[in-house]
Amino acid sequence: MDAIGHPEAGVDYPRTYQELLAWFPDDAACLEYLARLRWPDGFVCPACAAGGFWRTGRGLWMCRECGRKTSVTAGTIFHRTRTPLSTWFAAIWFVTSQKNGVSAQGLQRALGLQSYETAWAWMHKLRRAMVRPDRDRLTGVVEVDETFVGGVSARNPGASSDKVPVMVAVEKTGRGRKLGRIRLEITDRPGTLKLVDFAERMVEPGSTIRTDGAQMMRRLRHKGYIHEYVKGYAAADPTEVLPGVHLVASLLKRWLTGTLHFAVADHQLPYYLDEFTFRFNRRESHHRGLPFYRLAQQAAHADPQPLHTLLASARPPDFT
């Protein structure tokens, strides 16, 4: 199994839902698959980092060096789950195979879960696995700007409203309007130097960053970037100043209102942004099983998420 490079359909991941059911008929098959995702280069003891192990009768990995017994689900979002892993895998398939995602109610119905609360918790656990902290930065030509999401504020548009400011970075590839990967992150206030910091964290030095005419963004030229800007107020069509950002912002708002009806608490919004980013960046996957593979792979490395952490404020104030 190629857990890092380019996985192969039918070898590293199932191509269809029928194939998913055939691959994972029980927990034993699921555990073997998770083990290969979690330890692609072989088992590593979480206590002493040794590689040798024995398999116990209870299906645990016991380190030959220190004797530590480890479950493949320990320390992951599947930690202490009482639900069969085959049901979890079906949930990952449904979440990733639907173009616009699935609601907690839809997941509850599809899987026959007893409660809406369980489906809601599963959705939020999976969202917390959708973005890797060590993901690569954007490269080439990248547009950077801010948008605002939230309810209707007809009399107070943009920064003067109570909407949530979201920083957006969009990678441009090839010719024309073709877009690459995106990055999204909320901020506490619009129009601050946090947008410069966001650009530095999300874009590889040496890349070209395009922004509007905000004076503060011109600092980027002294931080290892080629900086290009267009003053929006001078443009005949403001949406053409940063067309990539405008398109992504429009799609994001449509997704939040159309799919979720904007039933999103502000403190959970960062994780919905993660879901949108996960989907957008994999929109051209040739097989439905590839997003399943990526999310299962990341879930095998994500920290456990007890219910109280799902209900609490989502992230530290600086969103780093």
Distance CA 80, CA 306 (A): 10
Q: List C-alpha distances in Å: 142 to 107, 133, 179.
A: 35, 20, 9
pLDDT of the residue at 134: 85
pLDDT of the residue at 320: 29
Class of domain 141-263: alpha beta
172-188: average pLDDT: 88
Distance CA 95, CA 92 (A): 5
Residue 314: pLDDT above 70? Answer: no
Residue 266: pLDDT above 80? Answer: no
Residue 230: pLDDT above 90? Answer: no
Query: Domain segments of the chain: what residues?
Result: 17-133+288-308, 141-263
Tokens read off for 86: 């085959």
157-172: average pLDDT: 81
Residue 160: pLDDT above 50? Answer: no
H/E stretch holding 53 reads strand 53-55
Residue 138 DSSP code: B
Residue 59: pLDDT above 90? Answer: no
206-222: average pLDDT: 95
313-319: average pLDDT: 42
Q: What are phi and psi of 181, to 5 degrees?
A: -85, 165
Residue 233 DSSP code: G
